[in-house]
Amino acid sequence: MEHTIVGYFLQFEIMKNLVEMASSTLGFNASSIIAFIIFLTASLILLLIAATIGGLGTFAERKISADMQMRPGPNRVGPYGIVQMVADFIKLFLKEDIVPVNADRFLFYIAPILAIVGVLGTFAVLPISSGLIISDLNVALFYAVGISSLVGLGIFLGGYASNSKWSMLGGMRGAAQIVSYEIPVILSMFTVILFAGGLSFGAILENQSGGPIGWYLFHNPFTFIAFFVYFIGILAETNRAPFDLPESESELVSGYNTEFTGMRYAFFALAEYMEVFVVAAFASALFLGGYKIPFNIGGDSLIGQVLQAGMFFTKVALIYYVVIWIRWTLPRMRVDNLMTLCWKYLTPIAFFNLIGSAVWIYYFGNKSMWNLIFS
């Protein structure tokens, strides 16, 4: 119970007083209602932040790509063009909604909703700081893997329901790619879960510390390899270049979202950029120590929470930058190379990591290689 945002607030006297006051006014125990209201508000704020992050992702993409190609990028709307995302949103908001006449209307309507809800659902377990987490489920990773597979479903349904050949090809490619790369990603997660001994982010972050030596990335050789397998896997799962085959704009027009216009297209684009953020956040929590700051400065106080959130967002922003950097550096892969890379390289490597970590646990327990070297 204490690993939620309400649990964090309830440590303070003022919250307890508020609950007691509400209880005496209403005549019954109001703690659940207060908790409900806090959760509702926190969810709303978090999801608005999530949407802003998605918008900032599109802005960052355009600005960084412009920087890499030595051109200014968007710079008209607001200082440095930072309000560009609002302009984009208003434009997409006012666009006509076109449904192809032969499309499967029901699936066409729900596909973008599935894609975006799949991403928003994962924000429930995102460990932004030790107090700011909607719910630290004891099956957080399992839940995240499950709910984020709705995105793949949305992409496939979007391609299928349009009844357009480009969309169909994109959707099929997207489904095949997302399900294939799910295997190495999950197996790399197992490597960390083995050492953490729990599926919740509380358990995963418990044994990591602020400094790089305490991260799972440098825990032992197997987790080190697992990080890179995970990273390649998330690039493919979020359809980022060099794995952007489902929407490869030069050969498939726009892939699965060819027929989508206006807000429905905006939801697909937003889902993609938010998913990059989410998987980058998971990468930072699993391998890079998440929100942990050195020497636990600030502790549980509000300043500590702000520092932790800053640490978290810094790490995620760095990973995000690398993801964009890779997109504008590498050319797109061919579809047969993509499948070969997944099934013939990443999956065997991930299995090797899993077996290696299991044997490591059996012989050395939870000791990291630094413990073994310096003891």
Partner 1 sequence: MIPYNFDVFMPVVILLFVGVAMVVVALIAAKIFRPHNPNKIKNQEYECGENPIGVAWSVFNVRFYVIGLIFIIFDVESALMFPVVTVFRRMRDQGMGGVVLIEVLLFILILLAGFAYCWRRGDLDWVKSYKRPEGESK
Report the nearest approach of partner 1 to the CB of residue 129 (Å). Answer: 16
Nearest Cα neighbor of 313 from 117, 52, 4 is: 52
Q: Are 229 and 350 in contact (CB under 8 A)?
A: yes
Report the nearest approach of partner 1 to the CB of residue 216 (Å). Answer: 13
Among 157, 229, 324, 354, binds partner 1 (CB under 8 A): 354
Among 64, 190, 332, 369, binds partner 1 (CB under 8 A): 190
DSSP 98: -
Nearest Cα neighbor of 49 from 316, 237, 307 is: 316
CA–CA separation, 41 and 30 (whole Å): 17
Task: Considering the complex, state which of residue 35 and residue 319 has its C-beta at the smaller distance from partner 1.
Answer: 35
Among 182, 237, 247, 275, binds partner 1 (CB under 8 A): 182
Q: Is 116 in the site for partner 1 (CB under 8 A)?
A: yes
Q: Is 356 in the site for partner 1 (CB under 8 A)?
A: no
Binding mask 61-100 for partner 1 (x = CB under 8 A): --------------------------------xxxxxxxx
Q: Is 227 in the site for partner 1 (CB under 8 A)?
A: no
First to last CA, the chain: 37
Report the nearest approach of partner 1 to the CB of residue 330 (Å). Answer: 19
Among 77, 87, 194, 317, binds partner 1 (CB under 8 A): 194
Q: Is 172 in the site for partner 1 (CB under 8 A)?
A: yes
Q: Is 267 in the site for partner 1 (CB under 8 A)?
A: yes
CA–CA separation, 333 and 241 (whole Å): 8
- In our burial notation (b when 16+ CB lie closer than 10 A, e otherwise), range 336-362 reads eebeebbeeebbebbeebbebbeebee
